[in-house]
Structure 1
Amino acid sequence: MNLLRRLFLNQKNLSVGQIGENHACVFLKKKKYKILARNYSNVSGRRLGEIDIVAKDCDVIVFVEVKTRVGFPGDILPQENITRGKMQKVERIARAYLREKGLLGVPHRFDAVCVWCRPVSHEIVHTEHVESIFFDF
């Protein structure tokens, strides 16, 4: 694959990802979640990566991984791309967030919001919220 094509595909994927993250925030707010942070990355030490959304559901801090797909439900499930390695990375970043905010003893969980959108218009066709996608440290 040539460089120009790769750059075009990366830009296209980024915009689809941003559309999915924006939609996920609206979706969670409608469910009465409070959005605490978007695209959080640790401020101290070596950069560990990024968590798409940090939210609060009642008294629980929720770390949300957003997966967006162009296509329709029934195709490849977005959450299938949340690998064991990705989960471990999210755990490390979550631990950094809780430590930085002085919230180490606060209940928390890890969720996924899966968004499907149409190929050209990127109109949202389906959203699925999966709570407690894995258990943590």
Structure 2
Amino acid sequence: MADEEELEALRRQRLAELHAKHGDPDDPAQHQAKQREAEVRNSILAQVLDQSARARLTNLAFVKPEKMKAVENYLIQMAQYGLLSGMVSEPGLIEILEKVSQQTEKKTTVTFNRRKVMDSDEDDDY
């Protein structure tokens, strides 16, 4: 009996920790906060991107959503610091995309470790 009570207490504690860490998906306040954040992001992006640049960014979301998020974050940060002069056009967005791509590009290298196989009399049977 005591073991079952302890186990249930541990389950409740773990569930509370998970809710604190990740949030409760059914929590209406958290849902509203995410919705407000999305509205603010969209508002800022609407102010800094012209129509063609916005369309290109939307198309990018279908192909590479993580890159689209990185570009959005970059644009929002630049706008907040006042580093954008006027609206960003499609060519300007392409330059930003190239910068973000260079920063996030994964460099892969392949190395071969060759091992010298010792010759033995047993291998001469082929």
- Please give the range of the TM-score, normalised by the shorter of the 2 chains: 0.3 to 0.5
**What TM-score comes out, normalization by structure 1 length?**
0.31
Q: Give the structure with the higher percent strand.
A: 1
Q: Give the structure with the higher percent helix.
A: 2
- Structure with the greater alpha carbon radius of gyration: 2
